[in-house]
């Protein structure tokens, strides 16, 4: 499917963007706060950090985290020299923590490559898709967005907003994820090669603010006169959704284990998965027909080689990830016997409750910590 003549599409979108675009995004601006001219480079480090943060996360959520990150790690070498603990602490609350670990690893990879083969002028930054995609966690669309944003190079992008806009533009009859080569060609076709940075940002802004998933504002869209989905009378029907499978639901028994000194036991997750390297209160999945108290006793025995008495419930909370929903049933526990061992984690540690804020925890654990602190205050 073809979008028709592309020059009017490009011009109308960029004209709309001049008055309606998100021009406040800090990593898209020069240090003096002004927008860059055509071909003028921006700080690749700030762009790279932002693009990784924006994976799975909306702009409004990312903005304060980006500012904090850039204050703590203002450049590539500072990030490469940082400890993983400091990196994860700064990422805490943003979710999908594997992104932070990949940024950290990527910084070290770039610094090491520059040390082994110094680039001309001390510039470690790739200028190709392949160069960026060689870094951990960088796919084609993220690499293309970095290249177009930082260097104004003509690379098409294909994030979720862009897929939706293009699917509606041509009223594509199938799910975009099943036709990615076609959508990449379509994105490349409409891209303005003379103004790629502005065009790609305009396309994302159109999807974020006008061509939204529900109730698109077609009357405000500069493309509605060329949009096949609008002409069909039902733009909300596009993009066609793929068949979905039910999201698994699990109940997790969690033990807040205390010793005779009032310290609590935490363990550090292995370096794998979305939450790798973070600290947590130990526990595990409830088996069918198993009482939650039995789950907690069993999991602490299997994972830490300790025996506990499971006491009153502290809190129950639910947390949704992209691939599963979890219910955490948290009980206070009293340590009875066994020296804690990291049988399923990197390390275990007894800490005073007031020290918990010094450790990076998954988002769901923040409410557990708050409930524990309230319980201590209440006596």
Q: With contact defined as beta carbons under 8 Å apart, do 337 and 309 qualify?
A: no
> Whose CA is closest to 28, among 198, 177, 240?
198
C-alpha distance from residue 20 to each of 16, 207, 210, 286 (Å): 6, 12, 10, 51
Which range marks the domain in which residue 75 is found? 41-151
Quote the pLDDT of residue 134.
Answer: 97
- On whether both 85 and 187 belong to a single domain, the answer is no
Mean local confidence (pLDDT), 73-95: 95
Active-site residues: which are they? 51
Paired tokens of 6: 């592309």
Q: Is residue 114 part of a domain?
A: yes
How many Å apart are CA 58 and CA 339, to the nearest integer? 43
Among the candidates 151, 175, 206, a domain finishes at 151
- On whether both 116 and 208 belong to a single domain, the answer is no
Three-state SS string across 63-97, please? HHHHHHHHHHCCCHHHHHHCCHHHHHHHHCCCCCC
Q: With contact defined as beta carbons under 8 Å apart, do 28 and 201 qualify?
A: yes
Per-residue pLDDT band at 367 (split at 50, 70, 90) = very high
Least confident residue range of 135-139, 270-274, 336-340 = 270-274
DSSP conformational letter for 120: G
Quote the pLDDT of residue 152.
Answer: 98
Residue 142, CB-side half-sphere exposure with 13 Å CA sphere: 21
How many Å apart are CA 379 and CA 374, to the nearest integer? 9
How many Å apart are CA 270 and CA 370, to the nearest integer? 25
Q: Using N-to-C axis directions, what is the helix angle for 6-20 and 196-209, rounded to 10°?
A: 70
How many Å apart are CA 325 and CA 329, to the nearest integer? 13
Per-residue pLDDT band at 65 (split at 50, 70, 90) = very high
Mean local confidence (pLDDT), 3-25: 94
Q: What is the CATH number of the domain that holds 359?
A: 3.90.79.10
Q: What is the CATH number of the domain that holds 104?
A: 1.10.340.30
- On whether both 237 and 253 belong to a single domain, the answer is no
Q: What is the pLDDT of residues 193-208, one digit of tens each?
A: 999 999 999 999 999 9
Among the candidates 186, 219, 244, a domain finishes at 244
- On whether both 166 and 143 belong to a single domain, the answer is no
């Amino acid at each position: 499917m073809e979008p028709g003549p592309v020059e009017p599409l490009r011009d109308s979108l960029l004209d709309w963007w001049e008055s309606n675009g998100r021009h406040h995004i800090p990593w898209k601006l020069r240090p003096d706060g002004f927008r860059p001219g055509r071909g003028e480079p921006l700080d690749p480090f700030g762009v790279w950090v932002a693009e990784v943060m924006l994976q799975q996360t909306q702009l409004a959520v990312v903005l304060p985290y980006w500012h904090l990150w850039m204050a703590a790690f203002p450049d590539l070498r500072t990030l490469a020299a940082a400890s993983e603990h400091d990196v994860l602490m700064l990422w805490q609350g943003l979710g999908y923590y594997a992104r932070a670990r990949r940024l950290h690893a990527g910084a070290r990879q770039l610094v090491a490559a520059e040390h082994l083969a110094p680039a001309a002028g001390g510039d470690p930054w790739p200028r190709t898709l392949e160069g960026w995609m060689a870094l951990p966690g960088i796919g084609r669309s993220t690499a293309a967005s970095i290249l177009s944003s930082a260097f104004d190079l003509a690379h098409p992008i294909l994030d979720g907003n862009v897929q939706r806009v293009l699917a509606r533009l041509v009223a594509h009859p199938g799910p975009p994820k099943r036709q990615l080569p076609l959508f990449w060609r379509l994105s490349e076709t409409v891209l303005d090669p003379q103004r790629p940075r502005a065009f790609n940002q305009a396309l994302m802004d159109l999807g974020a603010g006008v061509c939204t998933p529900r109730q698109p504002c077609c009357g405000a869209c500069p493309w509605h006169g060329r949009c096949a989905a609008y002409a069909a009378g039902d733009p909300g029907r596009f993009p066609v959704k793929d068949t979905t499978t039910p999201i698994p639901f699990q109940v997790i028994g969690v033990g807040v284990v205390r010793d005779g000194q009032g310290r609590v036991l935490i363990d550090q997750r292995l370096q794998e998965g979305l939450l790798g390297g973070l600290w947590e209160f130990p526990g595990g999945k409830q088996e069918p027909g198993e009482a939650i108290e039995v789950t907690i006793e069993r999991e602490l025995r299997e994972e830490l080689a300790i025996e506990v008495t499971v006491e009153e419930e502290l809190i129950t909370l639910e947390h949704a990830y992209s691939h599963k929903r979890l219910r955490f049933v948290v009980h206070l526990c009293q340590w009875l016997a066994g020296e804690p061992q990291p049988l399923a984690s990197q390390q275990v540690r007894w800490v005073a409750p007031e020290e918990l804020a010094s450790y990076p925890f998954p988002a769901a654990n923040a409410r557990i910590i708050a409930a524990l602190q309230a319980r201590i205050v209440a006596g």
